[in-house]
Copies of this chain bind each other. A is one copy, B any other.
């Protein structure tokens, strides 16, 4: 048994961390949060140059052909630094779906361009808050054209392509690839809790679309894609948890009340102990899911759901308690605590929220 990342993987992680510490300070996240842009295109170019977008794409499609484990450690660092780039949607979702389910022509058209950072892509599947995650009631496909409206599309404003779920005239529910640079597509930025990673609503009116993946396979493909993305997301969340806890520790150590360092009070220390426990459980579950993903083990579905449930809970807890231990300053826009609290919200919901994943976990556990 060797339940640890390899030295090479750790090196990739260290380099990513150092690069982001230098080039992705939280001020870049705040610029997007304040609405100055929808993502940091300069940073996007830099990480493309470092090969991050190419990491898990096959060499024959212009990628580096490394495994998912390498992508996991990069995800952890992107999560730690809250880097405002469309990595999540383009890499964890779109590139993975295309690589797993696209036809040869689609792969050749899109994967090299994604690897090279020239194409940004997103997944547009949600239609209504409270509706079943995989239903496409309002989006129809017929005769090569797609119509309907999707909401809460991460990176939908800046994406070049979208993968869209829709129902055809035979009530079949499939995925479609849509070039978003078409006249009859209307994209609107939607105000959301974490404005550092903007969401869009996208309205399609007879937009040209092509099938992606097998007919009537939307639910199957999305289930698999969400499982895979859940693993990467849990590493982003892990990075965010660690950053939140560290902020709290650094602040309370140098902050005094009643003549003592705030960090020396048992009530505060035990909050950190509880954060640590939540983080270590999330970390171990994320590692196990990463292993299952890397060898495509049959435990992946359960492991992915478990990692996601742990990571959602841990990030919510760490980011909210980091505000709490800061006292009043934690509630100010000026301090950075809220950046993590808001990101924890976004990541908790974006590929199905806690409710959905808890149910996935249990069905899979009982099926074992």
Which of A119-127, A198-206, A264-272, A355-363 lies at the interface? A264-272
Closest partner residue, chain B, to A270 (CB atom): B267
Q: How many residues of A contact B (CB 8 A)?
A: 4
- Which residues of the partner chain B approach A267 to less than 8 Å between Cβ atoms? 266-267, 270
Chain B residue contacts of A266, Cβ below 8 A: 265-267
User: Can you list, as one digit per residue, whether each of A239-268 has a CB less than 8 Å from chain B (1) or not (0)?
Assistant: 000000000000000000000000001110
Interface of A is mostly: helix
Q: Which residues of B contact A270 (CB under 8 A)?
A: 267
Chain B: minimal CB distance from A275 (Å): 15
Interchain nearest-CB distance for A262 vs B (Å): 12
Residue numbers in B under 8 Å from A265 (CB-CB): 266
A265–B264 alpha-carbon span in the complex (Å): 12
Tell me the smallest distance from the CB of A98 to a CB of chain B, in Å. Answer: 46
Contact with B along A89-107 (1 / 0, CB 8 A): 0000000000000000000
Nearest chain B CB to A153 CB, angstrom units: 36
A269-299, CB < 8 A from B: 270
Q: From A273, which residue of chain B is reached at the shortest CB distance?
A: B267
C-alpha gap A267/B267 in the complex (Å)? 6
Q: Distance in Å from the Cβ of A326 to the closest Cβ of chain B?
A: 18
Chain B nearest CB from A272 CB (Å) reads 13
Query: For window 40-74 of chain A, which residues contact chain B by CB distance below 8 Å?
Result: none
In the bound assembly, the distance between CA atoms of A206 and B265 in angstroms comes to 68
Kindly state the separation between the CA atoms of A270 and B269 in the bound complex, as whole angstroms: 13
What separation, in Å, do the CA atoms of A265 and B267 have in the docked complex? 9
Q: How far is the CA of A270 from the CA of B265 in the complex (A)?
A: 12
Q: Kindly state the separation between the CA atoms of A267 and B266 in the bound complex, as whole angstroms.
A: 6
Near B by CB (< 8 A), chain A positions 174-213 give: none
Give CA–CA (A359, B270) in the complex, Å: 34
Shortest distance from the beta carbon of A260 to any chain B beta carbon, whole Å: 11
Bound together, the chains give a CA A266 to CA B265 distance in angstroms of 7
C-alpha spacing A266/B270, complex, angstroms: 10
Name the residue of chain B whose CB is nearest to the CB of A267.
B266
5 A-B residue pairs with Cβ-Cβ distance under 8 Å, sorted by A, are A265-B266, A266-B266, A266-B267, A267-B267, A267-B270
Residues of A near any B CB (own CB < 8 A): 265-267, 270
> Which 5 pairs show the lowest CB-CB distances between chains A and B?
A266-B266, A266-B267, A267-B270, A265-B266, A267-B267
